[in-house]
Amino acid sequence: MTHIRKAVFPVAGMGTRFLPATKSVPKEMLPLVDRPLIQYAVDEAREAGIEQFIFVSAAGKGALEDYFDTAAALENRLEAAGKKDALAALERARMPEGALTILRQANPLGLGHAVRQARQLIGNEPFAVLLPDDVIKGQPGALKQMVQAHAKVGGHMVATMDVPRAATSAYGVLDIASESGRIAYARGMVEKPRADVAPSTKAVIGRYILDAAIFDRLSALRPGAGGELQLTDAINADVPTVGVTGFSFEGERFDCGSVQGFVQATAAYALDRPELSGAFEMFLSNRLSRQQMAA
């Protein structure tokens, strides 16, 4: 059992960096090796003990709901054909009855607005937020590491990783008061600071564990950067009362919201698959050798 039972997955984005593919396929359904992007976040949440999965979605993303639904006709055909491996692969996408809820975010008003949609479903308990664009490769998964740490400190917790100081302007960055092991106690967070004024190099990554008090802050929130309701602003407002920590997870993070990060993640996961790694590594080696010779 875990004290974190529910998780919110904001999946309403348009995925414009992956056009034209995302014209008809939700970004979260793009395959990373042989599983859609959303599956990696769901698997990480399951490992951490999550029982209730809340997708904050948008129009045109019915494929997400279909993917986690039962495909009776397909399963019957596979069973009749004796394709046990294919049936086992489908098990990964199966959700227990009542475990998945789809909410519609009619207007894309920011991450804070997306999280706010889940208030009635979350109730008065702490919950997780996972951004599927951030794929984190680690054992155990990043969220499980955070859940274990959060049980000791409570409050709001954000996942962090060290980045080069020159890259701080691309992230929310933690303002640190003190540190104890992998946990950093924060004075607050600064959204995308310039390198010369960044309070640290601990960047906030797309995993959060939030106290239910965040919903009161989100309800009173005014538009911030980009005219959107920023989750960072709501978390910052709770520093004096609820407390905010950063957790430096153990694992490798890939920014799959970018084409470059998606390609890198595909290579990393393919190289970890015994049935793929040998031939794929040879292909990469030969390809690089030919390019070096051509240069």
The 3-class SS string of the chain reads CCCCCEEEEECCCCCHHHCCHHHCCCHHHCEECCEEHHHHHHHHHHHCCCCEEEEEECCCCHHHHHHCCCCHHHHHHHHHCCCHHHHHHHHCCCCCCCCEEEEECCCCCCHHHHHHCCHHHHCCCCEEEECCCEEEECCCCHHHHHHHHHHHHCCEEEEEEECCHHHHHHCEEEEEEEEECCEEEEEEEEECCCCCCCCCCEEEEEEEEECCCHHHHHHHCCCCHHHCCCHHHHHHHCCCCCCEEEEECCCEEEECCCHHHHHHHHHHHHHCCHHHHHHHHHHHHHHHHHHHHHC
Please check the confidence at residue 265 and state whether its pLDDT lies above 60: yes
Domain boundaries, the chain: 6-257
Res 145: pLDDT: 97
Mean pLDDT of all residues in the chain? 91
Instruction: Please check the confidence at residue 224 and state whether its pLDDT lies above 80.
Output: no
118 or 14: which leads in pLDDT: 118
Tell me: pLDDT of 90 over 60.
yes
On the question of pLDDT at 124 being above 90, the answer is yes
CATH number of 6-257: 3.90.550.10
pLDDT at 1 over 90: no
User: Per residue in 52-85, pLDDT tens?
Assistant: 999 999 888 888 888 888 888 888 898 888 888 8
pLDDT tens digits, 167-218: 999 998 999 999 999 999 999 998 889 999 999 999 999 999 999 999 999 9
- pTM to 2 decimal places: 0.92
